[in-house]
Structure 1
Amino acid sequence: MTETHGTPAPDLKIIETRVYRGPNIWSYDPAIHLVVDLGSLENFPSNTIPGFSERLLADLPRLDQHHCSRGRKGGFIERLDEGTWLGHIAEHVSLQLQQEAGHDMRRGKTRQVKGTPGVYNITYAYADEAVGLAAGELAVRFVNNLVQPQMKDGQPAFDFTTELEKFIKQAERTAFGPSTQAIVDEAVSRDIPWIRLNKASLVQLGQGVHAKRIRATMTSETGSIAVDVASDKDLTTRLLASAGLPVPRSESVRTVDAAVSIANKIGYPVVCKPLDGNHGRGVCLNLQDADAVREAFPIAAEQSRRGFVIVENFVTGKDYRCLIINGRMEAIAERVPAHVVGDGVHTVAELVDITNADPRRGVGHEKILTRITVNNAARQLVRDQGFELDDVPPEDVMVKLTLTGNMSTGGISIDRTWEAHPENVEIAEEAARMIGLDIAGIDFICPDITQPVRETGGAICEVNAAPGFRMHTNPTIGEPQYIAKPVVDMLFPPGAVSRIPIVAVTGTNGKTTTSRMISHVFKGMGRKVGMTSTDGIVIDERLVIRQDASGPKSARMVLQNPRVDFAVFEVARGGILREGLGYERNDVAVVLNVQPDHLGLRGIDTLEQLADVKAVLVEAVPRTGYAVLNADDPLVRKMRRKCSGQVVWFSMAEPGSEVRDYIEGHCRRGGRAVVLERSDLGDMIVVKHGRRSMQLAWTHLLPATFGGRAMMNVQNAMAAAAAAFAAGAPLHDIRQGLRTFNTSYYLSPGRLNEIDVDGRSVIVDYCHNAPAMRMLGDFVDRLGESLSASSEVGRPSRIGVIATAGDRRDDDIRELGEVAAQHFDVVIVREDARLRGRKRGESAGLVQVGVRAAMDNSARCRRVDVVLDELEAVRFALERSNPGDLVILCVDQHQSVLAELESVSHLAQAGARSGDEGGDPDFVQPDEEITEETPRELA
């Protein structure tokens, strides 16, 4: 027994909640993540709280089936007896609550937050997001109540039985109906992805161009005209009669007198029913005279949307529902109206209560059977059978509560699928064809479905669009019919494709450019590419949403678009931590690098932790997929162990190095890789597959590399080539895509866009951290050398406008300034519009400190200014530059910056035409003394 001091208090509380909608750092599957604080309960494991385990198991006895870490039934009980912490118990309660609601969830995990005693991460699986969240909240309240019962005015304030019933009712409200759930389950069994499109039953099966939709049993193949015809019972009857199918004599009317007149014409008994009703509402049967018709008419008219009522002759016999899917009869059920059977002991009302106590019965369509409702019509029907609700019917006497056999009014079903006469099956199938429905419920009234209806008498009384499946999937008597299978067969015939290829790209730097390169390759092949990136969502070369779209919601938007047949997702660290991937798996995962950026956020403090986050993409690769990994990055290289599919390496390492030797061995075993071969003629990107080596392109001939000087884009191009090769693109298409991809604003907005502004070479890029600045600085050095060699006025100056996000660590922000100072003559520090928790000027001041520290150590930089506003910083840089200088703008809002540059360029051209000459800027000369200056902000 653990030694404790004091008294346990109900201190367990949730301090953070996340919902993962796809693979995440905790699980391969969707999960709920709760961060909980145990408070004083950190000192009280379960075996130190008297009676806790007994009370827990009394309310949730099925917890004894939980395996826990022991891997066997009863394992969790053993942990309770030994002593386990209450966060772990809340995890198991959350899972069990979902099981009580019919969601068979078993996966969970509880881990203490490192360095924070009493705070735990709880993750557990869920089937429905709202139910999973409600389960976690109820579990915490329940555990607290077990520790110390909550009281209010001397009475218990928490009744678990009542709370559990509320929870189950909530779960039933949000759950799919039986029909939708059956189709979704069948799709899942075939590995067809699905997305719930609303809170009701609208579901997408498949992805992108292959997507189909269902709403209950109505599909994207269901014709709207057919649905309209089926909802018009008068038109349905006339169409079926024109095909020679047995139907009752009927006419539609709008007044009581017309109904009586038609009834007299047809002959009694008759039926009155709404022209366009459903679920048997408003249907009045076996009307024997005009008075009965007058009484029934308003009941039927109330349920008619258009005010018309059908009067038809009453066909006697049993009620059968024939389900026709894609022109074939798949199931037949005999529908028995809601009723009770006397036992000689209980009254009719008591028998109804006993029947409704059946756990299979619920409200509406939430369960496989519906509770019987005793209303005025039911009381009158009981009275017509010679009983009152307080009477005790004799043993084995059936007392009907409704006349119609609809499941929605409390009826039951008996499976008759294999008993129907072939002629009756043919009639039902022909009726569905006449109406034009892909899924139809044909209502037969006849004495016996095993005999030909044309000989025994009977008729088709209705044809229903979107018929319910539960009478067939869960018959009260008989074998269940797996009718979801033909529905999915119809939507996705055997061999049909339901998924689109998904290439996901992650890494600290280079994600956006690599994603754009991959998209460009496949656009050139004629694919309709949907791409997400930090700039927005692009569908088939059209920017449809302009925002940071590197998260899971954007990925789902692409997968829902019916034009997309190929998806490329830029996946950022934040989205993975916030919601997971948002989709089930990716065919190709690309990991570019893991660099010190975004550390100190959301519990990610080390590079190893950051690598684990980005490795989620690799873990989401199926056995048939590929992981494209940077062999030059040790943390990325380790991710190979997490890949279920094949690994494709890319590397810029020299031949003979340890990395290249490893890659050569990988290729000798049949693997794939993209490497860089250097020669006197230049650098060649080479694709290796097994023992074959295939030359792809000279790096200096790829426009995005600026003649081979932009080594970061050489690396990005190699990653893109490896991903495209893994995704099945031919080499000549990859080569053509890379040769035609450039860093113009049209193809790559905000990434190494080069613009000539009045003789100045201006480069616009998104560099925002120290590792990216090193790569950019290498490019600046290479490009600056070429500009110096061609300059006639001496060495051109290099001016850099830099910034970083405010949510970085202080050291990382200062390091950005230190690195920038090594490559620029003048550094101008700005800030993003979003300060991300810092005060105005704070992050810029840290960058400036880093620049000055490097200047003190003889860095290249000889001047630093602070201009906080982005556009003002751009103008300031251009004012201080001369024609021939190199100006690098590390921007946040590239649209505004490019518009500003175009404006300045037009003004400069206009000034040149008018003969005006621009003035030379006053630079601090290298031999002048640098004095401390107050950071400057131009208003």
Structure 2
Amino acid sequence: MSGRPSPDLAITETRVYRGANVWSYDRAIHLVVDLGSLEEFPTSTLPGFTDHMMTMLPGLREHSCSRGRRGGFVERLHEGTWLGHVAEHCALALQQVVGHDVRRGKTRAVKGTTGVYNVIYGYDDEQVGLAAGRLAVRLVNHLVQADPEFDWDAELESFIRRAQRTAFGPSTQAILDEAMSRDIPWIRLNQYSLVQLGQGVHAKRIRATMTSETSAIAVDIASDKDLTTRLLGAAGLPVPKQESVRTADQAARVAVRIGFPVVVKPLDGNHGRGVCLNLENEGEVREAFETAKGESKRGVVVVESFVTGKDYRCLIIDGRVAAIAERVPASVTGDGISTVEQLVDTANADPRRGVGHEKVLTRIKVDAAAEALVAEQGYEMTAVPPEGQVVKLALTGNMSTGGISIDRTLEAHPENAEIAEEAARMIGLDIAGIDFICPDITEPVRETGGAICEVNAAPGFRMHTHPTIGDPQFIAKPVVDMLFPPGTPSRIPIVAVTGTNGKTTTSRMISHIFKGMGHKVGMTSTDGVVIDERLLIRADASGPRSARMVLQNPRVDLAVFEVARGGILREGLGYERNDVAVVLNVAPDHLGLRGIDTVEQLADVKAVLVEAVPRDGHAVLNADDPLVRAMRRRCSGQVVWISMDEPGSETRDMIDAHCRRGGKALVLNPSERGEMIVVKHGPREMQLAWTHLLPSTFAGRARMNVQNALAAAAAAFATGAPLHDIRQGLRTFSTNYYLSPGRLNEVEVNGVNVVVDYCHNAPGMKMLGDFVDRTGDSMESSHALARPSRIGVIATAGDRRDEDMRELGEVAARHFDVVVVREDNQLRGKERGYVADLVTDGVRSAMEDGARCKQVEVVLDEIEAVRHAMSRANAGDLLVLCVDKHAAVMSELENWSPQAQAGSGVTDESSPGADPDYYTADA
């Protein structure tokens, strides 16, 4: 150790995981931090660091860290821990300051890099979590070396205010807490209070206390106070006399007609704004008119008789009284020492009070109206009221104007509750706030006098969930009961598919099976988002955002997600859990990206799906792949094995032992008639289908699709599909372009057998090459005069390792007579021709070792490569096109039909050989 510590801690990379990920079972924020010179300074070497940290964030004393007991983290600080670890705990503590109960976190060194660490911690609100991480790093640097521009108190207050801006209000949070307690998933749809509860076809939406069941007409009626009063009066319910007016003169005349005292309020106001009470003469009415008109959206004001009594709010949910609260206007009580102004400041210092609806109580606002009301009571704001004297600062009891609430739910007279329930039914609101003015809610209002003065849509819950006096009412329960009656589902089944190769085809097979059963399937894949067999978005949609899009669609009753490793590393899964996880295989692909350098690390990424399987779920695992087989230890649910090994092999012995214990598996049983897919469940064996009779397997030659069919059948079986529906789905699924675009599509063009596939890596090319060999051998046996040629057009993405690109060429050379190398349009950071040269090198290397290939050619443009390959292919040849833009390639193939060529006017000058990106490299 040398020198003095410098504030070098810096964030070099930030990721937000919105679901299960490689670091955590739940959503998390991932910061890559560089300690710089601080790598040499653990906390034990920094005098005063721990004491100052505890002073600024005392909540850190509660952190157990790895010790598993309170104060464990403080012990680590005294013993000496690195500052990346400190930043993790600070980010958690900051979120706890604003009420977010997050405790998960870990810090791990980045392998092979000194002083660089992965800092991972949980979050409730994404923006708050990110802000907490940034402030934590600044705080650590400040404690290492004081920054004169860093004001901790100001920074903390700014952070708290930011959290309050994005936080849900008390009403929304109460509903979400109840939903989460019932395992109902939710998705925030905007930065405010619009939230989806449930998934797909089961989804409901709420915005504060307005739900997807709330009638728009009922909300309009409740917003029109004049119409509300007339409807309630027509139903025989007690309401005050009232009329709507547009001018101050009209207001004065109506007040005289109704009789003083009166109330003047806006027709369509809310939260008590603009309401003027107990007006005794025409002058007060005229003055109040202007106040009420300023809060009216349509400029209409209501004048109504003033009903004396206390202010009660009856909350009606789904036609029943859920809670009743007495609302007391904002006021202060004198102590004989403090002025009115000081008493207000003391009341606002209550930690329960905040701005607007951010906390359970609202700060008392002193404006001109409040000062005038205080003056009417004989005081000034600087006066000292006698001890025990109550000074009102508002006439209305709304919580939003600083009032308090007293719970009266159990005290209300049953007749009053019936009146409130009938009022909500008359207006048509599923959740309504009925405002009663009466002397005492414990006595019938028809006898003591009183009236319903207002009906409110989207009433606030906080006066009931957090009353100032009395017991809180758990009113979120009836709301969730209304949206999701006990026993009704809130989740749709989710099947997630991953693997190096075969993901898209397997996902399509699973979707096809369930579509045949009548399900509305939402599917994501590398081709796009498909809802009920309609392609909504054409893009690579194998990431978490596309998954959330499906879960938000109200038609979907079953989801099938293709999950790629890029999305997992970038954002996590994007959903909480999957009922069935399918892992097909793990092979070297995309290594060297985002810290994934080995195939074992890639397997850890794929295993995230298996870890997201709940106890009542299933993981479909390929027992033939050792890396996939090892994932069984990470599964909380049941494992369903699939295997293409023959009976008697070590793998089949393991599967037989698994089934003897009641497990499930799908295997192949060979016979003289062919291979039979067999479903094993415990001691039972059930025949499903002959592989050679499934269209997608090309009479069993496409071994990759035999494996995909096994996986799809296993996923459907685990999801609960009957065997006859699974069998029918496999028998009707083919690789034609309409069902499986870009995946082993076979067409005949001018006598040439053309296969279009997406193959783009060496492991996939081995499987495709096996299909080419099997197909080519059968074609040769039917051509006695000449041996058909096998021509392959191949390419790979530019973000592969150089050795992976060369290997693709080497594998292709073993199966094709002629290899045409092309490039994708998106080179992913490589120069034009770089990828093609590496692939060509691989082909040449294999040719020198005696591979089948005799000629390699390079045509960089995809369509030009297709044209070149078609121009040199003869009738009876097998042409395999490994494509990037399959739609464009299929369109080009249509142009090679005799009818298209007859009118095309193609000349020698427009032939593929004239392209400058074309050249030949012979053996």
Shared fold (TM-score greater than 0.5)? Answer: yes
Alpha-carbon distance in structure 2 between the residues aligned to 1:909 and 1:390: 96
In the alignment, the residues of structure 2 paired with residue 122 and residue 617 of structure 1 have an alpha-carbon distance, to the nearest angstrom, of 22
Matched with 1:313 is 305
Task: Determine which of 235, 239, 251 is the counterpart of 1:247.
Answer: 239
**Is residue 2:25 matched to residue 1:33?**
no
Is structure 2 residue 4 aligned with structure 1 residue 7? yes
Does the Cα contact within 8 Å between 1:531 and 1:558 map onto a contact in 2? Answer: yes
Q: Distance in 1 between matches of 2:697 and 2:139?
A: 61
Cα offset for 1:920? Answer: 14
Verify the 8 A CA contact 2:859 2:918 in the aligned structure 1. Answer: no
- CA deviation string 1:487-536 (max 9, x = no partner): 00000000001000000000000000000000000000000000000000
- 2:763 paired with 1:763: no
2:116 aligned residue (116, 119, 123): 119
Query: Residue 425 in 1 paired to residue 422 in 2?
Result: no
Contact 2:894 2:900 in 1 (8 A): no
Aligned to 2:157: 165
C-alpha distance in structure 2 between counterparts of 1:10 and 1:401, whole Å: 51
Q: Secondary structure at the match of 1:246?
A: coil
- Is the CA contact 1:177–1:365 (under 8 Å) kept in the aligned structure 2? yes
Residues 449 and 908 of structure 1: CA distance in aligned 2, closer, same or farther (over 3 Å) = closer
Matched, 1:94 2:91: yes
Q: Does 1:879 align with 2:876?
A: no
- Number of the residue aligned with 1:68: 65
1:267 aligns to what?
Answer: 259
Deviates more, 1:156-165 or 1:901-910: 901-910
Instruction: Give me the whole-angstrom Cα distance separating, in 2, the residues matched to 1:315 and 1:920.
Output: 92
The answer to whether residue 695 in structure 2 is matched with residue 688 in structure 1 is no
Tell me which amino acid in the other structure corresponds to 1:50.
Answer: P
Q: CA–CA distance in 1 between the matches of 2:906 and 2:606?
A: 56
What is the match of residue 733 of structure 1?
A: 725
* Residue 143 (structure 1) aligned to one of 124, 140, 147: 140
**Alignment equivalent of 1:841, drawn from 822, 830, 833:** 833
1:677 aligned residue: 669
Task: Give the superposition deviation at 1:935.
Answer: 4.7
Deviations 1:132-158 (A, max 9, x none): 0000000001110110111xxxxx200
> Which consecutive unaligned segments of at least 5 residues does structure 2 have?
none
Give matches, 1:598-613, under 5 Å: 598-613=590-605
* 1:720-778 per-position Cα deviation (integer Å, ceiling 9, x unaligned): 00000000111110000000000011000000001111110010000000000000000
Name the counterpart of 2:578: 586
User: Aligned equivalents of 1:734 and 1:116: distance in 2?
Assistant: 50
Residue 19 of structure 2 is matched in structure 1 by: 22
On the 8 A contact 1:532/1:538 being kept in 2, the answer is yes
Aligned amino acid, residue 750 of structure 1: G
Identity among equivalent pairs (%): 75
Indicate conservation of the 8 Å contact 2:646/2:652, yes or no. Answer: yes
1:287 aligns with 2:279: yes
CA contact (8 A) 2:692 2:700 kept: yes
CA offset at residue 798 of structure 1? Answer: 0.5
Q: Does 2:80 align with 1:83?
A: yes
SS in structure 2 opposite 1:904? coil
Question: 1:822 touches 1:859 (CA, 8 Å); kept in 2?
Answer: yes
Matched position secondary structure for 1:610: helix
Amino acid across the alignment from 2:622? N
Q: Does 1:521 align with 2:513?
A: yes
Quote the Cα distance in structure 2 between the aligned partners of 1:825 and 1:390. 99
1:477 is displaced (CA, Å) by: 0.7
Matching residue of 1:714: 706
Match of 1:925 in 2: none
Which contiguous aligned blocks of 4+ residues in structure 1 show a shift greater than 3 angstroms?
A: 906-912, 914-917, 919-922, 933-937
Cα distance, 1:481 vs structure 2: 0.4
Match of residue 526 from structure 2: 534
**Aligned match of 1:52 in 36, 42, 49?**
49
In structure 2, what is the equivalent of residue 104 of structure 1? Answer: 101
**Equivalent residue letter for 2:506:** T
Q: Report the CA distance shift for 1:167/1:921 in structure 2 as closer, same or farther (over 3 A).
A: closer
Secondary structure of the 1:509 match is coil
2:777 partner letter: E
Say which of 499, 502, 505 aligns to 2:497.
505
| Residues 805-844 of structure 1: pairs in structure 2 closer than 5 A | 805-844=797-836
Residue 165 of structure 2 aligns to a residue whose secondary structure is helix
Alignment of 1:112-261 (within 5 A): 112-150=109-147, 156-261=148-253
Aligned partner of residue 896 in structure 2, secondary structure: helix
The separation in 2 between residues aligned to 1:14 and 1:27, in whole angstroms, is 20
Deviations 1:395-453 (A, max 9, x none): 11111111000001111111111000011111101100110000000000011111111
Equivalent position of 2:431 in the other structure? 439
Conservation of the 8 A alpha-carbon contact between 1:552 and 1:575:
yes
TM superposition shift of 1:906: 4.9
> How many Å separate the matches in 2 of 1:883 and 1:787?
12
**1:753 pairs with one of 745, 749, 752:** 745
Q: 2:375 aligns with which of 371, 375, 383?
A: 383
- Give 1:793 shift: 3.6
Does the 8 Å contact 1:317/1:446 carry over to 2? yes
Question: What is the deviation of 1:936?
Answer: 6.1
> Which residue of 2 is the match for residue 889 of structure 1?
881
Q: Distance in 2 between matches of 1:661 and 1:910?
A: 61
- Per-residue CA shift, 1:83-108, capped at 9, x if unaligned? 00000000000000000011011110
Superposed CA offset, 1:700-735 (max 9, x none) = 110001111000000000000000000011111000
Q: 1:920 to 1:599 in 2, by over 3 A?
A: closer
Question: Residue 231 of structure 1: CA displacement?
Answer: 0.4
Counterpart AA for 1:136: G
Q: Which residue of 1 aligns with 2:485?
A: 493
CA distance in 2, matches of 1:902, 1:205: 47
Q: 1:349 aligns with which of 318, 341, 349?
A: 341
Aligned to 2:112, the other structure's residue is in SS state coil
The answer as to whether partners of 2:316 and 2:424 remain within 8 angstroms in 1 is yes
Report the 3-state secondary structure (helix = DSSP H, G, I; strand = E; otherwise coil) of the residue aligned with 2:897: helix
Partners in 2 of 1:921 and 1:794 — Cα distance?
A: 26
Distance 1:164 1:339 in 2: 31
The C-alpha deviation readout for 1:811-856, integer Å capped at 9, x for no partner, is 1110000000000000011111111111111011000000000000
- State the alpha-carbon separation in 2 of the partners of residues 586 and 671 from structure 1: 20
Contact 1:882 1:920 in 2 (8 A): no
Cα pair distance change 1:236/1:906, threshold 3 Å: farther
Query: 1:910 Cα deviation (Å)?
Result: 3.4
Match of 2:616 among 609, 621, 624: 624
1:325 aligns to 2:317 (yes or no)? yes
Mapped to 1, the partners of 2:427 and 2:182 lie a distance apart of 30
Rounded to whole Å, the distance in 1 between the matches of 2:62 and 2:312 is 42
Distance, in Å, in 2 between the alignment partners of 1:700 and 1:60 is: 68
1:464 equivalent among 450, 456, 460: 456
Amino acid at match of 1:108: G
Work out the CA distance in 2 between the residues paired with 1:768 and 1:167. 48
* TM-aligned CA deviation for residue 792 of structure 1: 4.5
Q: Give the SS at the match of 2:315.
A: strand
Across the aligned residues of Structure 1 and Structure 2, the Cα RMSD in angstroms comes to: 1.6
Deviations 1:324-345 (A, max 9, x none): 0000001001101111110001
